[in-house]
Chain A
Amino acid sequence: MHSSWLLVCIVLAAASLCAQKLGVGRAASPDEVKAWDIGISPDGRELPPGAGTSIEGKEVYDRRCKRCHGDAGKGGDETALVGGLGSLATPRPLKTVGSYWPKATTLFDYVRRAMPYKNPGSLSDAQVYAVTAYILNLNGIVGASDAMNAQTLPKVKMPNAGGFIPDSRPDTGAGKKKK
């Protein structure tokens, strides 16, 4: 039994190698993959351990984010993070995390990979969870003491989650798609 399993393994391994047509490139180690695998899917499958609340997040935000994004996510030189609910169908839409973003996981992903602007990657995972919780709380989406973590964040329902439709082009001329 043992040896037949071993044979199966050897055959599978050989098949796997043979399937590589050109044999260029080398196998990636699990550690290499883990170190770079920072993208977060909407179901949160890649979310790391750690947790943070809005209360903890305010402290991080005020030190690391406020200078560009303003007090409580408004009025800064850079993108507003709060407000704009109900504005999307008006002549002056305000697209913020609260009014526009369809997935809460995007906030964790983007803050961790790209923020703060001049020092991306400098926040710990717990700090990223906390800042994410704070920005969601400022938008009235989660409570002040709700902890964001790998389980809770993907379950957050964003106000504009249902606001996106597939590409319906071509939408002009003779070849336009029927609605």
Chain B
Amino acid sequence: MKDRRNFLGFGLATGAAVTLTYCASEPAAKSGAAAALEDEGRDQLGKVVTAYGERSTFEKTARLVPDTKTPATSSSRTPLADTYGIITPNALHFERHHAGVPKIDPAEHKLLIHGMVDRPLVFTLDDLKRLPSVSRVHFVECAGNTGGEWGLKTAPDVTRSHGLASCSEWTGVSLKLLLEEAGVQKAAQWLLAEGADACKMARSVPISKAMDDAMIAYAQNGEAIRPEQGYPLRLLLPGYEGNINVKWLRRIKVSDQPFYTKDETSKYTELLADGKAMIFTLPMDAKSVITRPSGGQKLKGPGALEITGLAWSGRGKITKVEVSTDGGATWKPAQLQDPVLTKAFTRFRLPWTWDGTEVQLVSRCWDETGYQQPTREELVAVRGMNSNYHCNVRKTWKIAADGSVTNA
């Protein structure tokens, strides 16, 4: 057990076209039997206690930040291949902002609920924290995640193909409880959720979802929500496309009709081959992807290793994941790691022995509605090639004889 990565069969992604920070900066392994059991320097006192912890200086895993002229309306991606279990560390949660991250003093922040309610109300953060809290694990996924997989030229690694999805334990207040405090009127069908960012990002939400499992979240993985995730308050609509989970939430207006905001009309609609577009396509369909081995990695040689990945559905729990090591000709059931939670990342695993020949790895999943993750051909047949969003096709990785892993 001198080097756990050796045991797992993964090495550095050196010289590949994809040079991700997290691959390029793995700690350098010492070579030779003499070095293996060294305890250098560990008989001296280490670092003192600190008020807010930092990860090991050897760890460099980072979000992928694109080079753009407008970084305030941009996105960064979660390096899913280098995360473990089902929880995304707060600092690695993907980002998508439309007018940058506002700096908000929580003591000044207010949430207004008005419109078709009996009592328009204003809540402070302190007010919300007095109310019964709820904590649940849910993924958030951008509707544009995996958008590159519509075409034949697919993304080279899982950060680029699936990195606009992350999963956290969110804590906050049930939106239903707040709406009941305000007294929702009978005619109410929709509400407008609006952020306090510079562009006042706004989306319409069906009242049925608002009264179901919607949450106003103020915490993420045990601490206050990060600024880039909506500090101090965000709307969380479990399983719905990322954009509608409005960050820096300041206002909810209850109405009898949707508002047709820019982001739910010009964006986040599914343009079909006949020129018609589906609108208000809110839940994210079931999706799975193998994260190790995945594109940009390199296997050190034949032998035992674990195939692992993530599956999730915006419509409930994942019930089954299957993995193929022959490009989809035959399938084996993967083991689902407990806990398997609704509308959350589910970790799957399959022990496997690589024989050193060229192979193609691919996963497919089912959710509790019976829905099966489609192939690219199946999805293109019904949606065409013009729909930028809600692509949930299977992702195939090719392992070459030299151990390098690429997109097939």
Contacts and interface: CB of A to CB of B under 8 A. Distances in A.
A103 to B, nearest CB: 4
A49 interface: no
Interface in A3-55: 16, 19-22, 24-28, 32-33, 36-43
Nearest to A86: B275
B299 to A, nearest CB: 33
Contact of A172 (B114, B261, B382): B382
A16 B274 contact: no
A42 B260 contact: yes
Contacts, number: 170
Interface in B116-145: 118-123, 127-128, 130-131
Contacts of B371: 170, 173, 175
B192 interface: yes
Given A16-B119, A39-B259, A33 B383 contact: no
Given A28-B122, A32-B122, A103-B265, A170 B112 contact: no
A124 interface: no
A160 to B, nearest CB: 8
Contact of A169 (B122, B199, B281, B381): B281
Contact of B386 (A32, A93, A174): A93
B160 interface: no
Given A25-B121, A114-B262, A41 B112 contact: no
A28 B265 contact: no
A105 B285 CA distance: 31
A75 B332 CA distance: 52
B282 interface: yes
A109 B122 contact: no
A1 interface: no
Q: Quick one: which of A22, A39, A167 has the most chain B CB within 10 A?
A: A39
A28 B181 contact: no
A42 B201 CA distance: 17
Nearest to B392: A172
A109 B200 CA distance: 10
B112 A93 contact: no
A117 B197 CA distance: 12
B382 A110 contact: no
A66 interface: no
Interface stretch (B248-256, B288-296, B300-308): B248-256
B382 A117 contact: no
Contact residues on A (Cβ < 8 Å of other chain), bracket: 35 or more
Contact of B281 (A16, A19, A109, A167): A167
B277 A106 contact: no
B10 interface: no
A80 B152 CA distance: 27
B154 interface: no
A91 to B, nearest CB: 7
Contacts of A27: 119-122
Interface in B370-405: 370-372, 374, 378-379, 381-383, 385-386, 390
Given A19-B118, A88-B386, 15 more contacts: A20-B183, A27-B121, A27-B122, A38-B194, A101-B266, A106-B261, A109-B261, A110-B262, A113-B200, A114-B200, A164-B277, A167-B279, A167-B282, A173-B372, A174-B370
29 contacts: A20-B119, A24-B128, A25-B123, A26-B122, A32-B112, A37-B114, A39-B192, A43-B257, A88-B271, A88-B275, A93-B271, A100-B265, A100-B277, A101-B265, A101-B266, A102-B265, A110-B262, A113-B199, A114-B198, A165-B277, A165-B278, A165-B279, A166-B278, A167-B281, A167-B282, A169-B283, A170-B371, A172-B381, A175-B371
